[in-house]
Amino acid sequence: MNVRLLHQFPPAEDNPRNSEGAFLRGKRGEILFAYSRYHGESNHDHAACDIALTVSRDEGRSWSEPRIIAPAAVFGTQNVMSVSAVEQLDGRLAFYFLIKENDFTTTLGRAVSEDGEHFTAERCEARFPAAYYVVNNDRIIRLRDGRLVAPASYISAEDNRTGNYHSMIATALVSDDDGRSFTKADFDFGTADPVNARYGHQEPGMHERADGSVYLWTRTGYGCQYESLSRQGLDGFFPPRPSEFTSPPSPMQIKTVGDAVYTVYNPIPRYNGREMLPGTWGRTPIVLRKSTDGGKTFGKLNIIEDDPARGYCYPAVFGTNDGRLLLAYCRGDGTDGNTLCRLGIAEVAIASIE
């Protein structure tokens, strides 16, 4: 497969981590990329972080100097992170993200723009029960009925405060008013084996199929992603079960680009005796697979990167106008701090994907 690393956002002084982004096509054809930009000294998930934006006017080959479009201080907190990109029904452009509140809960916010240059950061009304929700980057989708869906996993605020991340429950946050407010879906997927499950059903994602069913997957500690399928929309999900996608506890992404569906993930699970270098968490290699039947089956594993000294995770996928995929993902190593600290953007020629 023809892969080339185009751009990196390495950690630097007063910028210890750059991670978790999403792409969006701008109003004049440019490509916008927003991501979590940490500042201060800590790269911890809860440390100081804002949402930054960079722009490409040559289909992703070069990128502008980043600028902040959603400072956490606007929301009275120190951390906003994990960006998804949405084109609003009225034509505006929006980047959605998590707001980590001071009471150890999370809510959703967004940065909205008419022109792709001037953004206004605002809260989305939280009409869901207070808890610590995790919504990954590049995960918010629009269903065919117009609703926005943010796949989420959650624990109580108290468990977040004490660092007890076992037994996370998978659900979804749903908006019927184009992102102004979100409610909680009426399903929860937990686990009956919280110790061996290593944190339960984490970091879910969703992909709507052509027949209107929704495929849901979650990161687990069982050596693979778990999967479920709804009968229609968000109704009638079957109980989660092991999928074919073997992996360590690391996120997977599935996304439609053009006529094909692509998945990006780490295919090698943790196993007895596996060597994992510091800061990588076993998140190597990172691979890409293609589906030509709407996401029901996927082809061979195409390696994107496989350096054992690096970890690769939190991918975002975007199709260019000239036959390439842009893939953004964390690719740090122990010298960076860990895999989350360095962000990269790579290109893949679609014709080279087997």
Give the model confidence (pLDDT) of 336-354 as tens digits: 999 999 999 999 999 999 9
Say how far apart CA 341 and CA 281 lie, in whole Å: 13
Using CA of residue 311, residue 268, residue 191, residue 229, what is the dihedral sign?
Answer: positive
Output the CA–CA distances (angstroms, integers) from residue 98 to 29, 72, 106, 279, in the order listed: 27, 10, 6, 24
Give the model confidence (pLDDT) of 98-137 as tens digits: 999 999 999 999 999 999 999 999 999 999 999 999 999 9
Rounded mean pLDDT, 13-29: 98
Give the model confidence (pLDDT) of 153-194 as tens digits: 999 999 999 988 888 999 999 999 999 999 999 999 998 676
Q: Which domains does the chain have, with CATH numbers?
A: 3-352 (2.120.10.10)
Question: H or E stretch including 226?
Answer: strand 224-229
Per-residue tokens: 29: 């054809």
In the sheet that holds 302-305, the strands lie side by side as 253-257, 260-265, 286-291, 302-305
The region that residue 77 occupies, defined by phi over 0 for left and psi between -120 and 50 for alpha, beta otherwise, is beta
pLDDT exceeds 80 at position 197: no
CB 256 within 8 A of CB 210: no
